[in-house]
Amino acid sequence: MPIILDHQLREQIPHKTAEFPVSYYHDELAELPNWAGPYHWHPDFEIATAESGVLDYQVGQQHIVLEAGDSIFVNGNILHRVRQLSGDRPDPLPIILFSGVAIAPEHSTVYQNYIHPIARSDSLPFVVFRHENNSRCEINALLQETYRWLREQPRCYELAVQRNISLILEYLFCNLDHFPKSEATRIQIKSQIRLQKMLTYIYEHYAETITLKDIANAAHISRSEAGRCFTAYMGCSPVDALIQYRLQIACGLLNEKTNTLQEISYACGFHSANYFSRKFKEAYGYAPSQVGCLGK
């Protein structure tokens, strides 16, 4: 299932919170151009595992390389994205997104004493579970078991998943003081908020004519400051980020095979089909007409 974002960069998570607030995804990279996802965030916790390839999980400004067998926990409301660095096929990348209320109601003692401290820990944006680390093998084993239950959904699987997630959160809580800390400075926090505002503007207005000034104005900053913010987090200019997002949207439309190349180019903010085709091939190495034919 492709990643779908709302206008606030929150990933739209289709699980029904009142019923069972845990969602399972896999093979998402196969649906993404160049096996790279967009920068996004969501209020839920996220846990993912590299199964076959080498992945770059970017959390905030930090890049974490995951090798096959490694897993990562990403805290809620943290900007992140994933990109596959190696491998002949897209990594299956099993992912679970879950709310703390999967374990206990938000106003309960259990939630307030044990889950809230994790969710509100500014110094814990992520935790990595390396496959060669004996102390974290148990967590990786729990994750594999959880993925299997969510994939197969046998009788009472919700109880089994809830039990494993509870054990994982217990491990995180008991080791809060021992994990490497990543304290964000006020400047970093301000930059992330600015980036969120500018990306929100891009995601809402990508089909329109957008200038660098428009993007900067969304965060009430100068064009040069906007450039510094995008470079620090995304390694590109605001305009390049806009083009990347337009191309990602175009990939989805191309896969639907219901519109012409010219219609797609205009729908994505490109006012020339030739320019769109050129930028698409520069980014992905193949022509728009080949989408769906290359296993990407």
CATH of the domain at 202: 1.10.10.60
Q: Does 180 map to a domain?
A: no
Q: Which helix (H) or strand (E) holds 217?
A: helix 212-217
pLDDT confidence of residue 65: 97
Are 217 and 206 contacting, i.e. CB atoms less than 8 angstroms apart?
A: no
Domain coverage including residue 217: 186-290
pLDDT confidence of residue 199: 92
Query: What percent of the chain is predicted at pLDDT more than 90?
Result: 66
Q: What whole-number distance in Å separates Cα of residue 73 and Cα of residue 179?
A: 12
pLDDT confidence of residue 2: 34
pLDDT confidence of residue 291: 78
Q: At what angle do helices 223-234 and 238-256 cross, to 10 degrees?
A: 60
Q: Is the pTM of this model over 0.95?
A: no
Mean pLDDT, rounded, for 204-227? 96
User: How is the chain split among helix, strand and coil, in percent rounded to 5?
Assistant: 45, 15, 40
User: CATH code at 47?
Assistant: 2.60.120.280
pLDDT: which is higher, 100 or 38? 100
Q: Does 229 map to a domain?
A: yes
Residues 165 and 201 grouped into a single domain:
no
Residues 152 and 190 grouped into a single domain:
no
Residues 234 and 283 grouped into a single domain:
yes
> What is the band of 114 on the pLDDT scale with cuts at 50, 70, 90?
very high
> What is the band of 33 on the pLDDT scale with cuts at 50, 70, 90?
confident
Q: Is 202 exposed, middle or buried (0-12, 13-18, 19+ CB in 10 A)?
A: buried
Q: Does 296 map to a domain?
A: no
Residues 43 and 169 grouped into a single domain:
yes
Residues 194 and 244 grouped into a single domain:
yes
Q: Is 260 exposed, middle or buried (0-12, 13-18, 19+ CB in 10 A)?
A: exposed
**Of the residues 174, 204, 231, which one is the last residue of a structural domain?**
174
Residues 70 and 137 grouped into a single domain:
yes
Q: What whole-number distance in Å separates Cα of residue 210 and Cα of residue 45?
A: 33
pLDDT confidence of residue 7: 39
The number of domains in the chain is 2
Residues 155 and 219 grouped into a single domain:
no
pLDDT digits 0-9 by tens, 142-154: 999 999 999 999 9
Residues 122 and 255 grouped into a single domain:
no
